[in-house]
Structure 1
Amino acid sequence: MEETYLLNVEGVKKKILHGGQGELPKLQDGSKFTFHFQTLKDDFERTVIDDSREAGMPMEIIVGKMFKLEIWETLLSSMRIGEVAEFWCDAIHTGMYALVSRGMRRIAEGRDPLEGQKHRCGMGNMFDYHSTGYEDLDELQRTPQPLIFIMELFRVEDPSAYKRDTWAMSKEEKLAAVPVLHSEGNRLVLRREFAQAAAKYQEAVICLRNLQAKEKPWEDGWLKLESLVTPLVLNYCQCQLELGEYYEVLEHTTELLQKHNDNAKAYFKRAKAHAAVWNEREAREDFQRVAHLDPSMAAAVKKELKQLGERMRKKHVEDRKRYQGLFQSSQG
């Protein structure tokens, strides 16, 4: 098909490679595109930069959520379901591609896409990076250039048709989701489904942390959100204790206590985790802090210390027998 400029979009050419079905989808904020894409250089070899099929997963974009490569939303909005189209985009539209590609590649590699990234706009992060970690993307970052995108649109879903990930929610949606997730987590705990409950608490914490990132630390808005985070983290840690994930508990309680060093419940859970991995001195210190901070927990602390003492004595006896057995074997 003959190349044509997209209506009201400067610096873009579209060529339909395979026609789609039906009318153009009706879009609204929160609609989700699912598609495969291939990115090529506009050179003689049409050098392939990225291919979502090789990465093994299709791409998803949520309408209205300020995806860094804004032109993609425009391109996809011009497509019908099942359509395959090739778009030539001038450099004015592709300057952010290196950062977008970096994130997608990291996800495909099982790495954190935001590792090393500061909480700033995309352009700010562009100047923060000395290197993307990929030579071909570094070249694109140094010399923005026209790119070719070949896209195949699979589906477009309304906001009500799928469960939105946390990052795709508005501020109001995140705040509304937190008590629901908290309640669902509590219900799962009662059923002793600790792994599922932990996932609910974790999702609620992520909602709140995302909101906190937009507040100034230790000011009223941040503190209000932090007051909601703390009980969720403690509930999450209790689930991890039940699941035997003691080092996970140590990590999260220690992080919590760095901010709130008077939280008796956090010390109590950390003490139990220390006890479980035979850190006797650390466990005793934390249990003593609990009794000092909250005298109402003194009875629970006394019980835990008694159990810790019994476990440690039993361990010492078993260790002594084991060492004696080894010594006798070596003598024999």
Structure 2
Amino acid sequence: MQETMLLGLEGIKKTILHGGTGDIPKLRTGAKVTFHFRTQLCDDDRTVIDDSKVVGTPMEVVIGNMFKLDIWETLLSSMRTGEVAEFWCDIIHTGVYPLVAKSMRRIAEGKDPVDWQIHTCGMANMFAYHTLGYDDLDELMKEPRPLYFVLELIRVQQPSEYNRETWAMSDEERLKAVPILHGQGNKVVQTRTVPRGYAKEKAWEVPWLKLEKMANTLTLNYCQCLMRMEEYYEIIEHTSDIINQHPGTAKAFFLRGKAHMEVWNEAEARQDFSRVLDLDPGMKKAVKKELALLNVRMEEKNQEDRNKYKGMF
């Protein structure tokens, strides 16, 4: 057993429990790190808070992908493959752990890690609900403590060594993937066939649904970028594709309405904004703002037309 300090970082102590092999891997941006972790309190019993081995699935982190507990990237960068090490981390590094653990536990339970959230930051969510849903995490949030992280580094895969899903891509890579994913999603919906590598016993189960949802989400994000680029007709085309498949997608109607407004399609814009209100009353404020802008712009255009044609007849 060898104890060392991670140089240059305050509030961290490392104890190697089992030595690894080879050189310390370089954790480049985009590299995927697979590891087991155990989180323990700094009490006499070393009370276990979370343990990935109990769940039965190791943790995966993509370097540079804004994982909320970024201290883990630092800890892992000091380890060799196969190494098991214990890290004592002071409060300055552990304050956000309860929020991260909440999401990890929900994933382990087969639940959406974010569907519990209001559209605010994690800290605001806690105050909105007064609880994270787990007593031990609530206690840890109220009274932050130093923690022990026992990490076992299983493998490091560089970006070229694995097929990256969209969550592991950079913003630029996601934008490039949009047309491909959107086309795959359309094909899946139309044919009810899952692309090779996604096959299951029933084609309507999770894989094609996830692919379709992913493609549509990326496309809508892409349309927001196109809005800044003033590519309004392309937005209308993409959002119309989604609406044809999923007529209940309020965001698609909203973006298409904005695009119609920009190209002076008043009737179509009003129709889309009206549909948004039917589908999602919570967007009333946003729709009201766009309709007010539409009214102003149409009045300006009508006045311009009146001035242009004044005296012609």
Identity level (%)? 52
Residue in structure 1 matched with residue 249 of structure 2 by the alignment: 255
2:178 aligned partner, one-letter code: V
State the one-letter code of the partner of 1:134. Y
Q: In structure 2, do the counterparts of structure 1 residues 120 and 7 end up closer, same or farther at CA, with 3 Å as the change threshold?
A: farther
CA 202–36 in structure 1, closer or farther in 2 if over 3 Å, else same: same
Q: Which has the higher contact order (CA 8 A, sep 6+)?
A: 2
Listed as ranges, the matches of 1:145-184 within 5 Å are: 145-184=145-184
SS in 2 for 1:3: strand
Q: Which runs of 5+ in 1 are unaligned?
A: 238-251, 267-332
Q: CA deviation at 1:93?
A: 0.2
Q: 1:85 to 1:230 in 2, by over 3 A?
A: same
SS in structure 2 at match of 1:20: coil
What's 1:130 paired with?
A: 130
Give the secondary structure class of the aligned counterpart of 1:206.
helix
Q: Please state which structure has a larger fraction of its residues in helix.
A: 1
Query: Please, what is the CA RMSD of the aligned residues?
Result: 3.3
- Contact 2:87–2:148 (8 Å) recurs in 1: yes
Residues 132-172 of structure 1 show CA distances to partners (whole Å, capped at 9, x for unaligned) of: 00000001101111000111111111112222222222211
Q: Which residue of 2 is the match for residue 204 of structure 1?
A: 215
Distance 1:164 1:121, change over 3 A: farther
- Matched-pair contact (CA < 8 Å) for 2:188–2:212: no
1:209 Cα deviation after fit: 4.7
Amino acid at match of 2:248: T
Preserved contact between residue 29 and residue 63 of structure 1 (Cα < 8 Å): yes
**Greater shift after overlay, 200-209 or 51-60?**
200-209
Gaps of 5+ in 2: 195-202, 258-267, 273-313
Match of 1:11 in 2: 11
Partner of 1:84: 84
Deviation for aligned residue 1:45: 0.6
After superposition, the Cα gap between the structure-2 partners of 1:136 and 1:9, relative to the gap in structure 1 and judged at 3 Å, is same
Task: Tell me if structure 1 keeps the 8 A contact 2:185–2:215.
Answer: no
Change (3 A) 1:52 1:234: same
Instruction: Confirm whether residue 52 of structure 1 aligns to residue 63 of structure 2.
Output: no
Q: Aligned equivalents of 2:241 and 2:39: distance in 1?
A: 42
Please tell me the residue identity of whatever aligns with 1:255: T
Match for residue 28 of structure 1? Answer: 28
Q: Whole-Å Cα distance in 2 between the matches of residues 133 and 198 of structure 1?
A: 28
| Conservation of the 8 A alpha-carbon contact between 2:31 and 2:157 | yes
**What is the SS of the residue equivalent to 1:154?**
strand
Offset from partner CA, 1:117-145 (integer Å, 9 cap, x none): 24455555555552100000001101111
SS at match of 2:76: helix
Amino acid at match of 1:48: V
Q: For the structure 1 residues 192 and 12, does the alpha-carbon distance in structure 2 shift closer, same or farther, using more than 3 Å as the test?
A: closer
Please state how far the C-alpha of 1:233 moved relative to its aligned partner.
2.4
Note the C-alpha offset of 1:203: 2.2
The 5 A counterparts of 1:96-245 are 96-123=96-123, 125=125, 127-185=127-185, 193=193, 195=203, 200-209=211-220, 220=228, 227=236, 229-234=238-243, 237=245
Letter in 2 for 1:203: M
Amino acid at match of 1:159: P
The alpha-carbon distance between structure 1 residues 162 and 22, as it changes in their structure 2 partners (threshold 3 A), is same
> 2:75 aligned with 1:75, yes or no?
yes
Q: CA deviation at 1:210?
A: 5.5
Of 9-18 and 183-192, deviating more is 183-192
Taking the aligned partners of 1:143 and 1:134, their CA distance within structure 2 comes to: 14
Question: Relative to structure 1, is the Cα distance of residues 75 and 211 closer, same or farther in structure 2, using a 3 angstrom cutoff?
Answer: farther
The answer to whether the Cα contact below 8 Å between 2:12 and 2:87 also exists between their aligned partners in 1 is yes
Q: 1:50 to 1:210 in 2, by over 3 A?
A: farther
- Matched residues in 1 for 2:23 and 2:188: separation? 44
Amino acid at match of 2:36: H
Cα distance between partner residues in 1 of 2:110 and 2:92: 31
Bigger Rg, which one: 1
Q: CA deviation at 1:254?
A: 2.3
